[in-house]
Amino acid sequence: MEEGVLRVMEKPNEKQILLFYCMESEDLARKVAEQSPLIQLQSINWRSFDDGFPNLFINNAQYIRGQHVAFLASFSSPAVIFEQLSVIFALPRLFVASFTLVLPFFPTGSFERMEEEGDVATAFTMARILSNIPISRGGPTSLVIYDIHALQERFYFSDHVLPLFETGIPLLKQRLHQLPDTDNVVVAFPDDGAWKRFHKQLDHFPMVVCAKVREGDKRIVRLKEGNPAGCHVVIVDDLVQSGGTLIECQVIVI
C-alpha cells in the first residue's frame, strides 16, 4: 500500500509534501515517508475532552502556510470519522498551497444504491460530506480513494473536490508474477461484482468466478465457472467487511 500512496503523493517537479496522519495510519505514514526525502511527517495531538468529544491540535500550524499538505486518513469505524473530518476541514484553511486527502478505504462504498424505497445510500452521504472540504489556496482538494466499490461513485462527489480512484491491483499483479510457479496461479472472484470490477486488470491469469445464490432464507456462495483444481488460488474482492463471503469462496475452491 505504501508504494501506491507514494506514487500518488509525489509530484513531477519534486515538491516537498507535509504528511499528516490519523493515529491508525501512523505505521503506514512512516513507511511512506521512508520511501522519499520529499515527504516530511507532521503531527497532530489527538486528545479528547472529559465528555469524549475531540480536543485536537495541529502542531506547527503556522509553518505549513504555502506548503503542499496531505492527510492519510482511516475511516475504519464511525467512532473515528468525526475527529478526522475536523482535521481534514481545518488543514486547507491554513493557507496551504494544496491539500490532498488519501483515503485507502471508503467504508460506505458498498451502500451506493437503493433497491427499494426507504433504503439510504450512505455512500452518497459520505461523498457529500467530503465534497464540502474547504478549497485550499491551490484549488479543490485532491481526494485519493483506493479500490472503491463502484467506479460510478465518482459522480456522487461535487466539483469542490477532485476524486482520484486508485487501485492496488498492479501491486498484486507484480507480486504474483514474482512467484516461482506463477503459471499455476488462478484468480478467484467471490461474486460477479468483483469480476466486473477487476477481471480486465487480471486477464493474464486463469479465473474462477463464484456467485451468491439463495437457498431458502440463506444466501450461499456457489462455483459459477472455472476450475481451480491443482492450482494456487488468489481470491480478489474490493471491500471486505466481515470476511464471510471470502471464507465461503475459500471453502469452494480448495
Strand order in the sheet with 39-41: 39-41, 17-21, 68-72, 98-103, 141-146, 161-166
Q: Cβ(249)–Cβ(235) under 8 Å?
A: yes
Q: 0.75 exceeded by the pTM?
A: yes
% of residues, the chain, pLDDT over 70: 91
Whether the predicted pLDDT of 11 surpasses 60: no
- The fold of 170-253 is Rossmann fold (3.40.50)
Domain 2-166 and domain 170-253, same fold? Reply is yes
Determine how many CB atoms are found less than 10 A away from the CB of residue 17: 22
Each domain of the chain, given as residue ranges in start order, spans 2-166, 170-253
Residue-wise pLDDT for 130-171, tens only, equals 999 999 999 999 999 987 777 777 788 998 999 998 888 899
CATH number of 2-166: 3.40.50.2020
Q: Indicate the residue type of 15.
A: K
- Tell me, rounded to whole angstroms, the distance of Cα 227 from its chain centroid: 31
Regarding beta strands 98-103 and 185-189, do their DSSP bridges make them parallel or antiparallel, or are they unpaired? unpaired
pLDDT computed for residue 6 by the predictor: 60
pLDDT digits (tens, 9 = 90+) for 82-116: 999 999 999 999 999 999 999 988 887 666 666 77
Q: Which of 37-41, 112-116, 163-167, 206-210 has the lowest mean pLDDT?
A: 112-116
Q: pLDDT-derived band of residue 14, with 50, 70 and 90 as boundaries?
A: confident
